[in-house]
Structure 1
Amino acid sequence: MGLFSSTKLLPIVVLFSLLFTSYATNSAENNFVHCLVNHSEPSHPISAAIFTQNSSSFSSVLQAYIRNLRFNTSTTRKPFLIVTPFHVSHVQASIVCAKKHNLLMKIRSGGHDYEGVSYVASQPFFILDMFNLRSIEIDMESETAWVEAGAMLGEVYYRIAEKSKTHGFPAGVCPTVGVGGHISGGGYGNLMRKYGTSVDNVVDAQIVDARGRLLNRRTMGEDLFWAVRGGGGGSFGVVLAYKIRLVRVPEKVTVFQVGVTLEQNATDIVYNWQHVAPTIDNDLFIRLILEVVNGTQTATKTVRATFIALFLGDSKSLVSLMNDKFPQLGLKQSDCIETTWLKSVLFWDNIDIATPVEILLERQPQSFKYLKRKSDYVKKPISKEGWEGIWNKMIELEKAIMYFNPYGGRMAEIPSTETAFPHRAGNLWKIQYQANWFEAGEEVAEYHINLVRELHKYMTPFVSQNPRQAFICYKDLELGINHHGFYGYFEGSAYGVQYFDDNFKRLVQIKTKVDPSNFFRTEQSIPLHSHVEFVRMVTEKSLVSVLFGFFALNWIRRTSSNMNY
């Protein structure tokens, strides 16, 4: 055989291919870094904010804000670079250079994205990690605060309490959640029946748009300001900060946690809870948690219903209110804990209430786990027979958990079109389906994920329909993934209508206007109008390749739909 036979030549070709790919990758990375440096202000050099995979701190920076262990494995695709801006010019440079070099950018604030969308991608990407931008400036005279996107909720609550014992902010009960992602998706917590969601208390914002411009409410316009209040993160720009309106809370609040099992009449108590929780005094928020526990008999299982509450008042008033409106629970004075609003945050995060409140300044969660979440909205009460069926299904699945968060109150008074967050009047409560586990491995993960899927499927007759609604902050890629191709609008509609209902159409219009190149995109971002997406692809590629791809995809979809599985 000749010296250059195909069998001998193949390894050489592969080697050169790998070397060329490596060279091309390194070259693209170097060009991008060079662009970032050139576009940063000399007074605020960006070099210290850039971490390549060769940086000694790369792994620690990447993993510092990964809250779901499912996306912290050796096989999880890593970004080729992380930018951790500590000045607005670093954000602007990242956008300008990413567009110039056609690079995908993921934006991360606290890392609590349930599907890892803010720090994982299926294609080469880099992360814009906002954790250095976390200043909190409180103005008690106007009862407002400017809060940067990289701040944690616990930090916000702590800084407010430093200035006032009678002010708070309606946001989540997990103190390590990042402000940017939380508020951009709507944001809610145990003050929502009194004051609405987080976005209902946002009065201004600072955002860097797809052109690299720094805008506020006045310069961005009311349409974009509407969209960034509940329209989800990663679609319209990089929100640097929100100006929030502080709300009044009493110096003394009351919390309680009471659990009952099926043997302790949980069915009747839960049945009555669903009628009371959305209609009771707006000062009272009662969350319901359903989970399977060991029964009183050996080797048996039962369902435990746990009621956790925040009342904006003293315990005596609370017990009187409960005896009048919800006597089935049998709340006693001894069940109640009177405390400050700030310390109630500890209680809701399962932290000993005697713990120094400085723990709220810690940016790492108490524990890390693998997890899967889904969500639903309920508009009609469930019958006792329906609840008994749910008990049986939960016991069968054993490890799936449900959290029920009541609506009503202020939530029913704000129009669904007031902000991009649409879930208002007509909703009795929202459900979060949970599975948590601590063992690694794909089989273990699939087992737990299937538990959530099956419980979610079982709940279909009891929840909202046409569309079956979901909460964008409880990200769920099983609702649909957008590949941002020919069918980008239609793929986006699959999840978009569930997350945003009728507001989805307006969000698409705003997206198409402010980001026509679709630079800000994720697996579940707001899509462009279909005709604009087609024009964008024609501009970026040759018309022949676009038309070929269009017809090829149509043929594949038609063929797939006719196949029998």
Structure 2
Amino acid sequence: MIVSAWSSPSTAASTNSSSSSHDRSFQQCFSSGFQHSYNSTSGSLIFSKNNSAYASLLKSSVRNLRFFNSSEPQFIISPFHESHVQAAVICSKKHGMQVRVRSGGHDYEGLSYVSDVVPFIIIDLFNLRSISIDVENESAWVESGATLGELYYKIAEKSNAYGFPAGSCPTVGVGGHLSGGGFGTLFRKYGLAADNVMDAKIVDADGKLLDRKSMGEDLFWAIRGGGGSSFGVILAWKIRLVSVPPGVTIFNVQKTLEQGATEHLHKWQAIAIVGVANEPSNGGSKTIQISFVSLFLGPAERLLLLMKVSFPELALERNNCIEMSWIQSPLQSFSKAKSDYVKESISKAGLEGLWQRLMEEQTSLLILTPYGGKMSDISDSETPFPHRITWDSDNETQQHIGWMRSLYAHMEPYVSKDLDLGQNDNNNASYAQASTWGLKYFKNNFKRLVRVKTVVDPSNFFRNEQSIPVFPSPQ
């Protein structure tokens, strides 16, 4: 266990006479609980609803505007040191407040900053974003509040021979990404981001600060794909850097239905990323345009030779290819919003039905990301991550949501759903209730996750609408 000394600095939160005694009691508990001296010039640590910066901080990383005016936390904690997180956990538990933990805010169901059960607080890890690169040992320590873009930039500053197999969106927070598994453009070569985690620091439900050795291998297994918010507040990760060549090649070849896109996609499903959108054709009527996108770890000449053998139908040409360094490649990628896992290749009939539904929407975008490669070499039990695939749409109105549900109904034979699998009532489901979605989502890993949860957080303090439950107490 990592040990530090206690001290009692003040915070910069504002209060007034209308604050409840319960709120004041929580603030007093928090202010007296730091294990690290605090310099108030760094900024505020705790923001109440009376603080002028509260609203802007709350909305600073809300990525889904559907939740922009949702339930508000009693306090937002913005820690500068691990002991601030320990104090937040201890005091929240003492005063009956739920905890939501936010790194980048890219969870599109809002689980890191929205709660139907009040009172609750948000621990926003924005200020915990330090990154230390150790090229000699091919590793790095990165705090959970850092973004993927910041991590990639720091790696590239040290060396152009290394990268990390995580996502392509630069504003995604490291904390949520790694604890959920984390896939990106290098995962067919090196596996998930979670497969390349070597150590971690976590604050558990008792406020203890643990590393891999002190937390044990079961908890270390669980937080690499099982969702860290079910088990504690993950502060930092030690990751394994992976080798990348000096130059990589990307291409984006677009084909319409009239150009044989369905036949191409049917074969392409097991090869690389593809984006699907409805677009106006030359005649003005709608058609489906498919973008065949790829990142190749090497020069364009080698890629062209391989494509002539493996996929000559695509007719890839040199002018379709762009060579660049690996650090430049994430800037060429898509964003994503809602995800499913395709269980087997979609049939041509399934694809044609999909095109019909995409054409019904004014604008739509779908992204297919095939697993395989290194992913297939890693056993299902190595990490808890439920291998999934990504569909994309950023529409927010009920009309568009209805269209998405119709689309998902068509795709149901081919995919396993996301939150629609089920969720916990009142954020505190029984094992039996949570099993209805947990066994589908995590498959054989679900019961092991529940065993870990029952040991490390038996009171189910860390919970949300789709968190891991605990086993019922023996009667």
Q: How does 1:124-523 map to 2 (within 5 A)?
A: 124=118, 125-275=120-270, 277=271, 286-298=272-284, 300-348=285-333, 373-379=338-344, 381-423=345-387, 430-437=388-395, 445-463=397-415, 468=416, 470=417, 476-483=418-425, 487-523=429-465
- Which whole-Å CA distance do the structure 2 matches of 1:113 and 1:385 have between them? 32
Q: How does 1:57-136 map to 2 (within 5 A)?
A: 57-73=53-69, 76-124=70-118, 125-136=120-131
- 1:486/1:477 CA distance change after superposition, 3 Å: closer
Deviations 1:392-447 (A, max 9, x none): 23223454432111111100000110111143xxxxxx43233223xxxxxx6211
- Of 24, 33, 42 in structure 2, the residue corresponding to residue 39 of structure 1 is 33
Higher helix share goes to which structure? 1
Shift of residue 499, structure 1, vs aligned partner: 2.3
Shift of residue 42, structure 1, vs aligned partner: 6.0
- Which whole-Å CA distance do the structure 1 matches of 2:360 and 2:472 have between them? 44
Q: Computing the radius of gyration over CA atoms, which structure comes out larger, 1 or 2?
A: 1
- Which whole-Å CA distance do the structure 2 matches of 1:403 and 1:431 have between them? 8
Q: Which amino acid aligns with 2:346?
A: I
Deviations 1:131-170 (A, max 9, x none): 1000001111110000000000000000000111010000
| Residue aligning to 1:9 | none
Structure 1 gap segments, 5+ residues each: 1-21, 278-285, 351-370, 424-429, 438-443, 471-475, 536-565
Deviations 1:452-471 (A, max 9, x none): 111111012233xxxx3x5x
- 1:388/1:322 CA distance change after superposition, 3 Å: same
| Residue aligning to 1:441 | none
Q: Which amino acid aligns with 1:393?
A: R
Shift of residue 38, structure 1, vs aligned partner: 1.2
Between 175-184 and 497-506, the greater mean CA deviation after superposition: 497-506
Deviations 1:336-377 (A, max 9, x none): 011000011212259xxxxxxxxxxxxxxxxxxxx9624132
- Which whole-Å CA distance do the structure 2 matches of 1:397 and 1:193 have between them? 32
Deviations 1:226-274 (A, max 9, x none): 0010001310011010100000000010011111111111112112212
Q: Which amino acid aligns with 2:350?
A: G
Identity of aligned residues (%): 49
Q: Is the 8 A contact 2:205 2:461 kept in 1?
A: yes
SS of residue in 2 equivalent to 1:39: coil
- Which whole-Å CA distance do the structure 1 matches of 2:337 and 2:239 have between them? 30
TM-score by length of 2: 0.92
- Which whole-Å CA distance do the structure 2 matches of 1:138 and 1:513 have between them? 34
Q: Is the 8 A contact 1:252 1:313 kept in 2?
A: yes
Q: Is the 8 A contact 2:428 2:469 kept in 1?
A: no
- Of 452, 460, 467 in structure 2, the residue corresponding to residue 525 of structure 1 is 467
| Residue aligning to 1:50 | 46
Alignment length (residue pairs): 457
- Aligned CA-pair RMSD: 2.0
- 1:23/1:487 CA distance change after superposition, 3 Å: farther
Q: Which amino acid aligns with 1:318?
A: L
Q: Which amino acid aligns with 1:194?
A: K
- Which whole-Å CA distance do the structure 2 matches of 1:178 and 1:494 have between them? 29
Q: Is the 8 A contact 1:315 1:333 kept in 2?
A: yes
- Which whole-Å CA distance do the structure 1 matches of 2:258 and 2:449 have between them? 48
Q: Which amino acid aligns with 1:480?
A: G
Q: Which amino acid aligns with 1:453?
A: R
SS of residue in 1 equivalent to 2:469: coil
Deviations 1:486-509 (A, max 9, x none): 852233223222321110010001
SS of residue in 2 equivalent to 1:530: coil
- 1:487/1:385 CA distance change after superposition, 3 Å: closer
Shift of residue 217, structure 1, vs aligned partner: 0.6
Deviations 1:2-32 (A, max 9, x none): xxxxxxxxxxxxxxxxxxxx99972211110
Q: Which amino acid aligns with 2:348?
A: K
Q: Is the 8 A contact 1:249 1:341 kept in 2?
A: yes
SS of residue in 2 equivalent to 1:388: helix
